[in-house]
Amino acid sequence: MWAKNVLMGLLVAAAPVAASANELILSQESAKSGGASAFALDYQSDGAAVALQIRLSVPGASEKNVNLSKCLSELPKSHEGTCTMTKSGEVLLVIYSGTNAALPAGLVPIGSIGVRNIGKSGRVAVTELLVSDKNAQPIKATSSAQ
């Protein structure tokens, strides 16, 4: 009996840890020459999310050092949106479906942003995440940076 309990404990402890449902994942890719870094955005969906509003804090951001051309480049065809820089230097993403389609369940790539000269101490961070379902009701969601 003791050996069975130990074995079960080891199996549970060794289980892979996955992102939870309804989680925005911000991943920094390695910096390229010239000091440019790319930050990938993915959403772990439970299949109910229709729209997202995301606000990112980007230290020292300006239109000259932030590239938003691929910000929404990986969205499913059912969704569209906008990606803009605010006057306060934040990046704002608004993602929605014109047909009220939900994002598919699983890991959904959104796109990436490029940042030049962010510096060693600078970190891009999620400062706001609003997610809603097909009835425009809020969905509890979290964010993580990797």
Contact indicator for 112, 73 with CB cutoff of 8 Å: yes
Residue 127 has pLDDT above 70, yes or no: yes
Q: Is the pLDDT of residue 54 over 80?
A: yes
* In the predicted structure, residue 92 carries a pLDDT above the cut 70: yes
Cβ 96 vs Cβ 115: under 8 Å = no
140 vs 21: which has the higher pLDDT: 140
Contact 85, 61 (CB under 8 A): yes
pLDDT at position 76 is 97
**Predicted local confidence at residue 35, as pLDDT:** 67
Q: Set out the domains of the chain in order of their start, with CATH numbers.
A: 20-145 (2.60.40.680)
Higher pLDDT, 6 or 51: 51
From the list 23, 24, 49, 34, the residue with the least C-alpha distance to 124 is 24
As a whole number of angstroms, the distance between CA 79 and CA 51 comes to 9
pTM: 0.81
CA distance 103 to 130: 14
List alpha helices for the chain, DSSP H. 2-14
